[in-house]
Amino acid sequence: MKQTSLAARYARALAEVVQEKAALEATTEHLDRFSQLYGDSKELRDFLRNPAYPLPARKKGLATLSKRLRVPAHAARLLEILLERGRIELLPELAKEFRKIEEKMLGRVAVELTTARQLDPAMEKSMMASLEKFTGKKVRLTQVVDPTVLGGARTRIGSVVYDGTLATRLAKLKLLLIGEH
């Protein structure tokens, strides 16, 4: 079974337990934070995945970390189940799948906006309003700064990319003027 589909099954099971809006949002944030910590810390990954450490010691370490990060009980229990079943490596994919479920349940859409420089708060608010009007949903905006775009913006909504960057326009103009040589 593919990792993504297995992670999606765990995410759906967790979503069935968590129905309230505030709890969904909190669970998503905690899973994202724990997943990032897991991805960033080689020591944590090695500790949790290494069978040389006894399972009770790994469970105790996971419980301590979950408590310190204030992970909700239902999410902490899921992490423990993943550890017990030797599937803790699914955590990053599970966090992504749970975020997708949360967005769907709350009528939100994830949008990645790439610009040459950080938008000021007024421009970000204006962009959010435009994107919400365009999608018809609440937007969870992630801004990426990439100086190579030169100007304009590239927007990714799901798997669809709208590229209005200056770099792309210049590349198209170059092709038009000199061809593919």
Q: Which of 45, 71, 104 is the endpoint of a domain?
A: 104
How does pLDDT run across 106-161, given as a tens digit for each residue?
888 889 999 999 999 999 999 999 999 999 898 989 999 999 988 999 999 988 99
Range of the domain at 117: 108-178
Q: Are 99 and 119 contained in the same domain?
A: no
| The model's pTM | 0.72
Q: Can you tell me the distance from the alpha carbon of 132 to that of 29, in angstroms, rounded to the nearest whole number?
A: 22
Q: Are 133 and 94 contained in the same domain?
A: no
Q: Are 97 and 13 contained in the same domain?
A: yes
The answer to whether the beta carbons of residues 111 and 155 sit under 8 Å apart is yes
The answer to whether the beta carbons of residues 114 and 142 sit under 8 Å apart is no
Q: Are 10 and 67 contained in the same domain?
A: yes
Q: Where are the beta strands (DSSP E) in the chain?
A: 108-115, 138-145, 153-157, 160-163
Q: Are 62 and 141 contained in the same domain?
A: no
3-state helix, strand, coil in the chain (%, to 5): 65, 15, 20
How does pLDDT run across 41-64, given as a tens digit for each residue?
999 999 999 999 999 999 999 999
